[in-house]
């Protein structure tokens, strides 16, 4: 057992794509410069120019490889053309049909494909399309959650399914520190994908109040009350804020569209009204009642005690895991 790199990166540390615009060029470049895989997040609509801009900006901040995450449930064909023509290292995909054609097209462009799945069935489909690695998301994860199983039981089942194929498995959900990283390695993963820990980093584009709440709060909830109109049937894990507690029994026919506007954000260059119960987390431009907005967080949030530079997060994971393995497990 050890902290080997994956997919040509120095380390098996992945910074999750963080929607709608929380993982921008600064965060991704900081992770890349530290030897991890950083994933950009672009708009959930056809916006090839914006994708090009984000990728090119990141290239000015790092000469190391990085990737882009795309939610396949939204229009994406033109965006993917740009991602492939810009030859980023990795295309991460989530929530939608990751077809063999898409994987083949990416491979022809020299781009590796890494889907995030939340079940053994999802992993089986991914293997059949010829993907390069699989992120296995447990129900503990922050943000949108595609499956219902805990990482500790789901991950080894996917590892067994993959068998001796050369497809690294990357664990996602509630991993925040070296202990979580080593636990994931013990379950058979070769890498870990962290979302919440990187939202709470200096370089993330999250609003300072959201970052502070990640340090202060420790309870999360799995719910479908946020963002129902924009992205139906897509549960999320959020901080248990007063908004969540007040609205957690929202009747099924209600959604954010008939709620009042509580603020404004500029998301990927466009000004948007933020309704109460919208699914968009507050970013650095957001004004209004920030504390009442959705704040995605994984179950590991109680372990986050400070905002750190993203490079430091990567360093602490790698060095901490090496130390833990040497002191606690070698010769055990
Ligand atoms: C603010 C936020 C936004 C997210 N956005 C995306 C996304 O756009 N695409 C995606 O594949 N996963 C997204 N995720 C989920 C992550 O990929 C990952 O599964 C999750 O963050 C892992 O759990 P953790 O937050 O406990 O580390 C998001 C997570 C958070 C916290």
For 278-324, write each residue's pLDDT tens digit.
Answer: 999 999 999 999 999 999 999 999 999 999 999 999 999 999 999 99
For 192-240, write each residue's pLDDT tens digit.
Answer: 999 999 999 999 999 999 999 999 999 999 999 999 999 999 999 999 9
pLDDT value of position 180: 98
Pocket probe for ligand 1: among 140, 144, 205, the residue whose CB has the most ligand atoms within 8 Å is: 144
Regarding beta strands 261-267 and 287-288, do their DSSP bridges make them parallel or antiparallel, or are they unpaired?
antiparallel
Q: Is 298 in the pocket of ligand 1 (CB under 6 A)?
A: yes
Centroid of ligand 1 to alpha carbon of 327 (angstroms)? 31
Closest-CA residue, ligand 1 atom 4, reads 18
Pocket probe for ligand 1: among 16, 94, 171, the residue whose CB has the most ligand atoms within 8 Å is: 16
Q: Is 142 in the pocket of ligand 1 (CB under 6 A)?
A: yes
pLDDT value of position 2: 64
Place of tokens 């990482």: 151
Q: Is 196 in the pocket of ligand 1 (CB under 6 A)?
A: yes
Centroid of ligand 1 to alpha carbon of 160 (angstroms)? 25
For 88-124, write each residue's pLDDT tens digit.
Answer: 999 999 999 999 999 999 999 999 999 999 999 999 9
Pocket probe for ligand 1: among 69, 116, 142, 177, the residue whose CB has the most ligand atoms within 8 Å is: 142
How would you label 27-40 residue by residue, b for 16+ Cβ within 10 Å and e otherwise? bbbbbbbbbbbbbb
Q: Please state, in angstroms and rounded to a whole number, the distance separating the CA atoms of residues 56 and 68.
A: 12
Q: Is 143 in the pocket of ligand 1 (CB under 6 A)?
A: yes
Helix, strand, coil percent content, the chain, rounded in steps of 5: 35, 20, 45
For 244-275, write each residue's pLDDT tens digit.
Answer: 999 999 999 999 999 999 999 999 999 999 99
For 274-289, write each residue's pLDDT tens digit.
Answer: 999 999 999 999 999 9
Q: What's the Cα-to-Cα distance from 227 to each of 134, 173, 290, 293, rounded to whole Å?
A: 27, 21, 16, 11
For 171-205, write each residue's pLDDT tens digit.
Answer: 999 999 999 999 999 999 999 999 999 999 999 99
Could you identify the atom of ligand 1 that is nearest to the CA of residue 140? 26
Q: What are phi and psi of 227, to 5 degrees?
A: 65, 25
As to burial, measured by CB atoms within 10 angstroms (0-12 exposed, 13-18 middle, 19+ buried), residue 120 is middle
Partner residues linked to 189 by β-bridges:
none
1 pLDDT above the threshold of 60: no
Closest-CA residue, ligand 1 atom 8, reads 19
pLDDT value of position 152: 98
Alpha helices in 71-227 (DSSP H): 77-85, 100-108, 120-129, 151-162, 178-186, 196-199, 208-216
Q: Is 37 in the pocket of ligand 1 (CB under 6 A)?
A: no
Pocket probe for ligand 1: among 13, 14, 15, 18, the residue whose CB has the most ligand atoms within 8 Å is: 18
| Three-point CA angle 160, 140, 314, nearest 5° | 85
CA 202 vs. chain centroid, Å, equals 17
Q: Is 29 in the pocket of ligand 1 (CB under 6 A)?
A: no
Q: What is the CA radius of gyration of the chain?
A: 19
159 pLDDT above the threshold of 90: yes
For 13-70, write each residue's pLDDT tens digit.
Answer: 999 999 999 999 999 999 999 999 999 999 999 999 999 999 999 999 999 999 999 9
Could you identify the atom of ligand 1 that is nearest to the CA of residue 92? 11
3 pLDDT above the threshold of 80: no
Centroid of ligand 1 to alpha carbon of 298 (angstroms)? 8
DSSP letter assigned to residue 325: I
Could you identify the atom of ligand 1 that is nearest to the CA of residue 206? 1
Cβ-based neighbour number of residue 292 at 10 Å: 20
| Three-point CA angle 132, 147, 249, nearest 5° | 150
Q: What are phi and psi of 210, to 5 degrees?
A: -60, -45
Centroid of ligand 1 to alpha carbon of 200 (angstroms)? 12
Q: What's the Cα-to-Cα distance from 118 to each of 133, 137, 141, 234, 237, rounded to whole Å?
A: 14, 5, 10, 13, 14
Q: Is 79 in the pocket of ligand 1 (CB under 6 A)?
A: no
Closest-CA residue, ligand 1 atom 28, reads 143
**Is the entire prediction scored with pTM above 0.85?**
yes
pLDDT value of position 235: 98
Centroid of ligand 1 to alpha carbon of 264 (angstroms)? 22
327 pLDDT above the threshold of 80: yes
pLDDT value of position 63: 97
Q: Please state, in angstroms and rounded to a whole number, the distance separating the CA atoms of residues 85 and 111.
A: 9
């Amino acid at each position: 057992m050890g902290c080997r790199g994956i997919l040509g990166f120095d380390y098996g540390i992945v910074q999750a794509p963080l929607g709608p615009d929380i993982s921008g060029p600064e965060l991704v470049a900081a992770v890349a410069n530290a030897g991890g895989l950083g994933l950009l997040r672009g708009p959930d609509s056809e916006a090839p120019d914006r994708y090009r801009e984000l990728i090119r900006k990141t290239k000015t901040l790092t000469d190391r490889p990085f990737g882009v995450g795309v939610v396949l449930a939204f229009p994406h064909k033109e965006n993917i053309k740009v991602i492939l023509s810009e030859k980023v290292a990795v295309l991460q995909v989530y929530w939608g049909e990751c077809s063999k054609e898409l994987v083949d097209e990416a491979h022809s462009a020299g781009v590796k494909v890494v889907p995030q799945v939340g079940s053994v069935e999802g992993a089986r489909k991914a293997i059949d399309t010829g993907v390069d690695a699989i992120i296995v998301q447990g129900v503990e994860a922050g943000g949108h959650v595609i499956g219902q199983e805990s990482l500790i039981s789901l991950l080894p089942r996917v590892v067994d399914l993959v068998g001796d194929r050369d497809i690294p498995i990357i664990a996602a959900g509630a991993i925040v520190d070296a202990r979580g990283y080593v636990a994931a390695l013990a379950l058979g993963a070769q890498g870990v994908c962290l979302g919440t820990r990187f939202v709470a980093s200096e370089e993330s584009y999250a609003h300072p109040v959201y970052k502070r709440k990640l340090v202060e709060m420790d309870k999360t909830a799995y719910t479908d009350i946020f963002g129902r109109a924009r992205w139906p049937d897509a549960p999320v894990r959020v901080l248990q804020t007063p908004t969540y507690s007040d609205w957690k029994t929202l009747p099924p026919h209600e959604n954010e569209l008939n709620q009042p506007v509580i603020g404004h954000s500029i998301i990927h260059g466009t000004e948007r009204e933020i309704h109460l119960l919208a699914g968009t987390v507050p970013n650095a431009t957001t004004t209004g009642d920030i504390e009442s907005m959705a704040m995605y967080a994984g179950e590991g949030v109680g372990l986050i005690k400070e905002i750190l530079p993203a490079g430091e997060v990567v360093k602490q994971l790698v060095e901490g895991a090496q130390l833990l393995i040497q002191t606690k497990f070698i010769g055990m």
